[in-house]
Amino acid sequence: MTDRTQQPPEPDDRVVDDFFAAHRRAVRDLGADEETWQVVVERAGRGSRRSRGTWFVAGAVAASALAVAVLVGQGLGGPDALPAGPSEPGPVAATSTPEPETTDEPEESGVPGDDEPGATDEPAVTDDPGDVESPPAVALPAPAPGTVTVAVHEPTGEDGDLRTAVVQTECDAANYEWMCPALAVSEDAGETWTGRVDMFAAGYYEAVSSRERTWMWGPGPDGALGRPGVPEPSGELVRSDDGGRTWTLVPTRGDHPLAVEAFRSTLVVVTDGCEGGEPGTCAEVVITDVAADDATTGRRVVRLEDLPEQAQGAPGLLWAELSATYDAVYVTYMGTTWRIADGAEVATVVERPEEQCTLTTAPESPDGLLHWCADGEAVQVSSDGGRTWTDVPLPEGLVRGVASNDGARLAVATDGALWTGGEDQDWEEVLPWPGGATLLQALGGSSMSFGGPYRAYPEGAEKESQRWVTEDDWESWTELPPIEVSWGG
């Protein structure tokens, strides 16, 4: 019919009207809030190009982060695009108890079925969100007033105003070659810093922030063996959504976390042990959403078999490193790197040009990898996830770090200078550098950071505490201010 106002209604017209009426009632106005817009932008692949880089500080990512060494390819399918894979429902609050079994009653869809000529068009009944149990809260101690800063590891969370950094502090246990970590928080994009959690006392040693959230995790139960005066490690993963003031437990698989890292909207968690396997022999990688309250399941769960045998260090005290490209997540543990392709549920081992050297990712590339040795004469570059490698001669000097966003234009830190160049480019000196402990990190887009760990000395700042950041691959750069943590008291 083309003129419904002048023709008598047909019997089927009521069914059609009911169908569209039900759908109109199901439409929800999401509003114009920032979070909804961010989701729209990401799904359209048009978000900010700046992203987390590829390595942790203090046993985290060597520009090759999941954060055992876990290089995690972001598998994001392009700048700021969400990882590909099966469609999943939106995140819901996790519970600490199994979900109740569903009944055999058919769900009401709000649309009449073919065998229900008189079906109602009332909207479907949904569960009350208030009935969902909240994740358990965790009480964590604050640092003591007057805590003394020894070193500040590379801050994370540059995608928002909330930044966090693991701070090495003075403590008696340092005599046993332990780092005594505390969590420092900035809520004004790094302008001011406050000590918020005594991580060491609570048994947590690593932390990472992204999208206004912070995660902390600790080693396994054997991590304190042979270390007098060391608090029992937590072996847990916790999360804070309010700058470290309150924390909730995030359930994980396995014995304890080995690495945690956030890549845009994706959270990757690596745990020691696996179903049917003992800790130290296998691991599991959960790829989920940063808003997830539970890391036992997710978009994918990938098993890492035949972990390398631990050669040194206290049991339960080893970490993994995570990093990512658009097409893959990379996990490195004790010198072995696994590649988890976008959408894959099986990990493959990356064949390195040499053992016992450093492997990292180019975060703005489809699947770019960098490999170098401190005393090497060339850096090896791969554009296909390690299947093939090309040698790029290095400038003279002991290599302290190599990074690249796109896998073509490289930044190289040596004992003497920071250089930029590549396979078809001459090396150009950017900044003088005395060597020593060096952090060189590709942040995505054209952004990088470079320098030494932030250290505190009674006589004042040392050269190796200098830090620079660039937004245009070192065409220009800005020196960052030193981090001064307020401990109260």
Q: Tell me the pLDDT band of 251, cut-offs 50, 70 and 90.
A: very high
Is pLDDT of 287 > 90? yes
pLDDT of 481: 82
The reported pLDDT for the residue numbered 435 is 83
Taking residues 399-420, report their average pLDDT: 95
pLDDT at position 456 is 61
The rounded distance, in Å, linking the Cα atoms of 239 and 249 is 7
Least-confidence region, from 51-65, 438-452, 456-470: 51-65
Confidence of residue 243 (pLDDT cuts 50, 70, 90): very high
What confidence tier does 335 reach under pLDDT thresholds 50, 70, 90? confident
Comparing 424 with 331, the larger pLDDT belongs to 331
The confidence score (pLDDT) of residue 311 equals 60
For residue range 312-322, list pLDDT tens digits in order: 655 566 789 99
Confidence check: pLDDT of 82 > 70:
no
Angstrom distance (rounded) from CA 235 to CA 391: 41
Spatial distance between the Cα atoms of 206 and 468, rounded to a whole number of angstroms: 23
Specify the pLDDT at position 118.
35
pLDDT tens profile 146-188: 998 888 888 999 888 999 999 999 887 766 666 789 999 999 9
Q: What is the DSSP letter of 465?
A: G
The more confidently predicted of residues 362 and 460 is 362
pLDDT given at position 312: 60
Say how many Å lie between the first and final Cα of the chain, rounded.
81
Query: Judging by beta carbons within 10 Å of its beta carbon (0-12, 13-18, 19+), is residue 48 exposed, middle or buried?
Result: middle
Q: Which of 33-47, 156-170, 300-314 has the highest mean pLDDT?
A: 156-170
- pLDDT given at position 413: 96
Query: How far is residue 291's CA from residue 299's CA, in Å, rounded to a whole number?
Result: 13
Structural domains of the chain, with CATH: 45-86+133-350 (2.115.10), 352-480 (2.120.10.30)
| Average pLDDT score over residue span 19-45 | 43
Helix (H, G, I), strand (E, B) or coil at 279: strand
Distance of CA 43 to the CA centre of its chain: 19
Q: For 191-230, how does the pLDDT look when each residue is reduced to its tens digit (9 = 90+)? A: 999 999 999 999 999 999 999 999 999 988 777 777 777 8
Strand 149-152 relative to strand 454-455, pairing: antiparallel
What one-letter code names the amino acid at 369?
L
Backbone torsion region of residue 323, taken as left when φ is above 0, otherwise alpha when ψ lies between -120 and 50, otherwise beta:
beta
Residue 335: name the closest of 348, 321, 314 by CA: 321
pLDDT value, residue 368: 97
Q: Is the whole model's pTM more than 0.75, yes or no?
A: no
Q: What is the pLDDT of residue 411?
A: 97
Residue 59 pLDDT: 33
Report for 33-42, 107-116, 415-424: range of highest mean pLDDT: 415-424
Number of C-beta neighbours around residue 114 at 10 A: 7
Beta bridge partners of 450: 440, 468
- Rounded Cα distance between 228 and 123, Å, is 63
- The structure tokens listed for 344 are 């894959």
**Using an 8 Å Cβ cutoff, are 223 and 233 in contact?**
yes
Average pLDDT over residues 258-287: 92
User: Tokens 């999401």 correspond to what residue?
Assistant: 30
pLDDT at position 222 is: 78
Structure tokens at 175: 């005599």
115 or 208, greater pLDDT: 208
Share above pLDDT 70 across residues of the chain, in percent, rounded to a whole number: 68
The whole-angstrom distance between residue 357's C-alpha and the CA centroid of its chain comes to: 23
CA distance 121 to 135: 36
Radius of gyration of the chain (CA): 25
Per the document, the length of the chain is 489
Instruction: Name the more confident of 188 and 20.
Output: 188
The mean predicted confidence, pLDDT, of the chain is 76
Q: Across-strand partners of 486?
A: 194
> Cβ–Cβ contacts within 10 Å for residue 18, how many?
16
DSSP state of 89: P
Residue 371 has pLDDT above 90, yes or no: yes
Whether 301 shows a pLDDT value over 90: the answer reads: yes
Stretch among 128-137, 313-322, 467-476 having the lowest mean pLDDT: 128-137
